[in-house]
Amino acid sequence: MSTTLHSQKMTIVFMNSIPAHIWRGGEKWMVNAAAGLHERGHTVICIGKKDAVWLDKAKTRGVTVKPMNIHADFSPIIISLLVAFFLKVKPDVLCCNFEKDVRLGGIAARIAGVRVIYVRKGLSLLCNKLRYRLAYKYFADRVLSPSQFIKDNFKQYTWLAQDRIDVVHNGVEIPDVSTFDRNKILSICNDTARPVLFGAGSLFWQKGFEYLIEAVSLLNKKGYYPHAVIAGEGDAAPYRELAVKFKVDNYIHFAGHRSDIPELMYGADIFVLSSIDEGLPNVVLEAMAVGTAVVASDAGGTKEIIDDGQNGYVVPVKSAVALAEKIELLLSDESLRSKIAKTGFDCVKEKFTIAKNVEGVERLFLKSLNTRHPL
């Protein structure tokens, strides 16, 4: 291996034991990072469950994949298989996703002599339990986070040194919107006369869609009557019941899993993030990347993306009233909405592209190989 950082080529393994059918922000990040590093000349291998969606997507991007039956923590069989694989491919860096990956892949990597072991933490999920402390002490060298918010939140864990946590903001693709149809989202609403709000994410508590639904009811009382389209997998029944309770069931539309999220964002008047908890919300970046104005709750690293009042609006979490106020402000002033959308697009183009994320990850991995310090 060359001693010059810029010319040094690495062998990198990404490991993610997410259930095979799941495709969310963390998996999207991993595929983009793996493919980007592969395109920059590094040898990249992705390990995941057989038939995993994220592995299939990585493979289509030219990345080598290794399906494995990852089903248990501390499994001697899985660890031995990983040791044999690592000894064969000789990775310089292992980047784990879940704690299970640390306790399987991390142990195997230590045995096999992998030089640097990263754990990516897309959310502030960590526990002050013995198995976590031991895993991060012995089987992980560094933590990769998409936001300063997560890094700061980890200060409560004194056994995890802050100088071993690296922050690289997420990046998103800037699509060619010339091929997009603004009317696609209107066909979901079956109404071309009313404004359209859009929210996206899995239908569970973290995304706080109940506050978006309530915000629509507040806006209806003021005469705006916006439609809200919510795209994402999960059980919509509780949210449908809530829409009935707020008497907005004719204005709330559940689109389920969609492969055309950017196009739906493009057709919306405003993208709304109502989340309670986030890392660095990719959906906000994706909405800004298609030139749609954003109103977002102050969840996770949202303020690391949005300069309030300049390229979007940030409101307190769990506040339908605050969401409704900022949505109303944008609906009532088309020129302001256009200005916010344009500034948001410029921000993503300058700071939050996939290329910038890959460059940041590459720089960290190379630096860690040359200045490795254990946790």
Q: Which sequence spans correspond to the domains of the chain? A: 5-171+354-370, 177-351
Contacts (Cβ under 8 Å, ≥6 apart) of 343: 310, 311
Work out the end-to-end distance of the chain between its first and last CA atoms, rounded to an integer number of angstroms: 25
- pLDDT tens digits, one per residue of 220-242: 999 999 999 999 999 999 999 99
Which sign does the torsion angle of CA 302, 304, 305, 310 carry?
A: positive
Please state, in angstroms and rounded to a whole number, the distance separating the CA atoms of residues 249 and 227: 10
- CA 5 to chain centroid, in Å, comes to 28
**CA nearest to 339, candidates 351, 329, 324, 350:** 329
5-171+354-370 matches 177-351 in fold: yes
Which pLDDT value is given to residue 372?
55
Mean pLDDT confidence for 119-132: 83
252 touches 226 (CB < 8 A): no
Does the pLDDT of residue 151 top 70, yes or no? Answer: yes
Over residues 308-322, the pLDDT tens digits come to 999 999 999 999 999
Q: Smallest Cα–Cα separation from 237: which of 190, 275, 204, 201? A: 204
Fold classification of 177-351 (topology level) = Rossmann fold (3.40.50)
- The dihedral built from the CA positions of residue 352, 323, 206 and 147, taken in this order, carries a sign that is positive
The predicted-structure confidence for 100-122, as pLDDT tens digits, reads as follows 899 999 999 999 999 999 999 98
Judged by DSSP in three states, 317 sits in coil
pLDDT value at 299 more than 90: yes
Which residues, listed in sequence order, are joined to residue 272 by a DSSP beta bridge? 295
Rounded distance between C-alpha atoms, residue 358 and residue 362, angstroms: 6
pLDDT confidence of residue 78: 94
Query: From CA 131, how far away is CA 60, in angstroms rounded?
Result: 36
pLDDT higher than 70, residue 4: no
Closest by CA to 7, choosing from 35, 32, 40, 36, is 40
- pLDDT above 90 covers what percent of the chain? 84
Contact yes or no for 215/323 (Cβ under 8 A): yes
At residue 375, the pLDDT reads: 45
* Coil, strand or helix at 199: strand
Q: Was domain 5-171+354-370 assigned CATH 1.10.3720.10?
A: no
- For residue 23, which phi and psi values (nearest 5 degrees)? -135, 100
Closest CA to 312 of 327, 333, 324: 327
Composition of the chain by helix, strand, coil, percent to 5: 45, 20, 35
Q: How confident is the model at residue 374, as a pLDDT? A: 45
Q: For residue 129, what pLDDT band results from cuts at 50, 70 and 90?
A: confident
Task: Judge whether residue 252 has pLDDT over 50.
Answer: yes
Average of per-residue pLDDT across 275-288: 94
Whether the per-residue pLDDT at 167 is higher than 70: the answer is yes
The per-residue pLDDT of the chain, averaged, comes to 93
Q: Is a pLDDT exceeding 80 seen at residue 373?
A: no
Residue 202 predicted with pLDDT over 80: yes
For 83-92, write each residue's pLDDT tens digit.
999 999 999 9
pLDDT digits (tens, 9 = 90+) for 332-358: 999 999 999 999 999 999 999 999 999
Residue 66 reports pLDDT greater than 50: yes
Q: Which residues contact 151 (CB under 8 A, 6 or more apart)?
A: 145, 162, 165, 167
pLDDT score of 141? 94
Q: Show the beta-strand stretches assigned E in 149-284.
A: 165-167, 196-200, 227-231, 252-256, 270-273
Contact assessment for residue 212 and residue 237, using Cβ atoms and an 8 Å cutoff: no
- Residue 7's pLDDT is what? 65
Section 116-138 average pLDDT: 86
Q: Residue 345: what pLDDT?
A: 98
Q: Strands of 313-315's sheet, edge to edge?
A: 252-256, 227-231, 196-200, 270-273, 293-297, 313-315
Encoded tokens for 180:
């997009």
